[in-house]
């Protein structure tokens, strides 16, 4: 009789855990990790395009060397920062985002220099350059989409582990809040428009 009572308690305990949200938390945490992998994937795609862009520019133009070096250095910094999906804290995501933002800034300055300069007619006519620029633009769009999807997965997970009684289960089993991607500081201020021609 005692053994039957113990087995019944175990079965009821397991049933209780399945209804306390533990399995849902595991599934949501895995969804966040999967989405983080997608974010890393599109950032890696961008990093992989940069050496081809650099080679194409070097072969076709008398380029601005310091701007090109800034892009190369920013790429090295951005690709050196890796975050484990189990450690997606706000601080770690901010470090990752800062390195990626630096690369974005350097790359934008480099592309603006090439786009507005009339000194590179053979580069503008180079089909490899045009193809790389189109791929880079598409990759930037993918980055935006994947960051949005990541933030949505994090929001769903964070909200779930904070709700009662899920918050008790989350606390018991170490489910912690995940960090978000945020807008770049100053991105809410429109850039000044220079109308001089």
Tens of pLDDT, residues 16-71: 555 568 999 999 999 999 999 999 999 999 888 888 887 777 766 655 667 777 88
Whole-number mean pLDDT of the chain?
Answer: 80
- What's the rounded Cα separation, in Å, for the pair 166 and 156? 13
Answer for the pair 132, 53: CB distance below 8 angstroms, yes or no: yes
- What's the rounded Cα separation, in Å, for the pair 101 and 105? 6
CA atoms within 13 A on the CB side of 160: 20
The pTM (predicted TM-score) of the whole model is 0.73
The pLDDT assigned to 129 comes to 74
The pLDDT assigned to 15 comes to 53
* Burial (CB count within 10 angstroms: exposed 0-12, middle 13-18, buried 19+), residue 83: middle
pLDDT band, residue 192 (cuts 50/70/90): very low
Q: Please write the tens of the pLDDT for every residue from 63-92.
A: 566 777 788 888 888 888 888 888 899 999
Token couple for 122: 């053979």
The pLDDT assigned to 57 comes to 75
């Amino acid at each position: 009789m005692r053994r039957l009572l113990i087995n019944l308690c175990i079965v009821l305990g397991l049933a209780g855990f399945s209804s306390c949200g533990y399995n849902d938390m595991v599934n949501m945490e895995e969804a966040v990790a999967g989405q983080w992998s997608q974010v890393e994937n599109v950032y890696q795609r961008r990093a992989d395009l940069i050496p081809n862009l650099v080679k194409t520019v070097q072969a076709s133009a008398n380029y601005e060397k310091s701007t090109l070096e800034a892009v190369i250095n920013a790429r090295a910094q951005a690709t050196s920062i890796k975050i484990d999906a189990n450690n997606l804290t706000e601080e770690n995501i901010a470090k990752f985002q800062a390195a990626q933002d630096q690369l974005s800034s350097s790359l934008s300055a480099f592309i603006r220099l090439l786009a507005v300069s009339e000194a590179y007619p053979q580069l503008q006519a180079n089909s490899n350059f045009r193809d790389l620029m189109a791929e880079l633009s598409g990759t930037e769009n993918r980055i935006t989409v994947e960051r949005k999807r990541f933030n949505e997965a994090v929001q769903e997970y964070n909200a779930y582990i904070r709700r009662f009684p899920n918050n008790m289960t989350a606390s018991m089993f170490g489910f912690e809040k995940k960090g978000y991607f945020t807008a770049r500081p100053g991105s809410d201020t429109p850039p000044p428009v220079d109308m001089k021609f």
